[in-house]
């Protein structure tokens, strides 16, 4: 559906995108993942033909993107913007109409999505009266009300509470099940790990890893244990068979050295921690990124 081949884009002396190649296939959820400033938004804007690449090619169904193709695409930009003094329903109808949708199609769609997101009673209210989270949901509806076959979401979870984030994730899965190609960018690894079939992980405009989630975990996975506990686990990082530890508010992910067995860790913590969960797992996408990229910037990418 969307094919990107060896694309470059620079601003002055900053190489925003450096030789990226990937494809987002029909009816899949594809994640463009990386820290803030990695080049994700620049890549999405080039797909939308808002800005042109310096070199390389971008194709939509095998051909250069045309104006007619844009009517088949739903786009949620990183910089949100709705007409604040207009009524919500009018704004959403306008956004669907400029995509070529007919009122008989988009009006029922808009009403259904407003109901889904709990915004029906706000339909006749001005956009400026919406909370930030409501406006974010409204913008999301504006991107999909014309029933596109491809949707591009740039950091769609920004400004949303955890419940609203899960709601959006569920909608993305539903769109995929209807055959829609979903491409979204995020710096929150957990979201990509939950729903993406394939990803492109980038840093400083360059590919870090590309492929299916299953293949990536197999390729870069090492013996890891997720551990929920009560107590002080700071000693775990000093165990001689432990490669590294990533700490979270309520649990840790421990990567064991090659040849080490999870039983070694279990015996080492017995009597020192009150264990609530001990699970051998494939390493998280966050952990894989830290392993490959390393450094403070990688640590700042959200899990």
Domain boundaries, the chain: 2-217, 222-281
pTM over 0.85: no
Of 190, 183, 147, 143, the residue nearest 165 (C-alpha)? 190
pLDDT at position 146? 93
Helix 213-220 with 285-293: angle, nearest 10 deg: 50
CA–CA dist 122, 77 (Å, integer): 23
Q: What is the pLDDT of residues 158-205, one digit of tens each?
A: 878 888 899 999 999 999 999 999 999 998 888 888 899 999 999 999
Q: How large a percentage of the chain has pLDDT more than 90?
A: 63
pLDDT of 69:
86
**CATH tag, 222-281:** 3.30.70
| CATH topology (fold) of 2-217 | Rossmann fold (3.40.50)
Are the C-beta atoms of residues 119 and 145 closer than 8 Å to each other? no
Which whole number is the average pLDDT over 124-136?
91
Q: Where are the alpha helices (DSSP H) in 121-211?
A: 132-144, 162-177, 189-195
pLDDT for residue 92: 95
Asked if the model's pLDDT at residue 303 lies above 70, the reply is no
| pLDDT tier, 297 (very low <50, low <70, confident <90, very high otherwise) | very low
| Number of residues that this document lists for the chain | 303
Mean pLDDT (the chain, rounded): 89
């Amino acid at each position: 559906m969307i094919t990107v081949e060896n694309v470059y884009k620079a601003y002055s002396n900053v190489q925003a995108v450096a030789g990226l190649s990937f494809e987002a296939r029909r009816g899949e959820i594809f994640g463009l993942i990386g820290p803030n400033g990695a080049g994700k938004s620049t890549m999405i804007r080039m797909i939308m033909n808002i800005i042109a690449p310096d070199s390389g090619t971008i194709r939509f169904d095998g051909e250069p993107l045309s104006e007619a193709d844009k009517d088949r695409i739903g786009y949620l930009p990183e910089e949100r913007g709705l007409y604040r003094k207009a009524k919500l329903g009018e704004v959403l109808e306008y956004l669907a109409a400029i995509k070529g949708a007919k009122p008989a199609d988009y009006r029922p769609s808009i009403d259904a999505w407003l109901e889904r997101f709990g915004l029906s009673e706000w339909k006749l209210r001005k956009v400026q009266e919406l909370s930030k989270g409501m406006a974010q949901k409204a913008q999301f509806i504006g991107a999909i009300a014309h029933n596109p076959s491809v949707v591009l979401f740039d950091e769609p979870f920004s400004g949303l509470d955890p419940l609203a984030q899960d709601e959006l994730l569920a909608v993305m899965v539903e769109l995929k099940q209807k055959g829609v190609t979903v491409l979204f960018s995020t710096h929150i690894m957990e979201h990509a790990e939950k729903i993406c079939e394939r990803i492109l992980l980038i840093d400083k405009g360059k590919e870090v890893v590309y492929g299916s989630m299953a293949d990536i975990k197999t390729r870069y996975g090492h013996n890891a244990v997720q551990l929920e506990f009560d107590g002080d686990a700071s000693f775990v990082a000093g165990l001689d068979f432990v490669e590294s530890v990533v700490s979270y508010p309520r649990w840790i992910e421990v990567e064991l050295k090659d040849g080490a067995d999870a039983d070694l860790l279990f015996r080492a913590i017995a009597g020192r921690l009150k264990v609530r969960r001990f699970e051998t797992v494939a390493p998280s996408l966050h952990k894989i990124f830290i392993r490959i990229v390393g450094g403070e910037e990688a640590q700042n990418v959200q899990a």
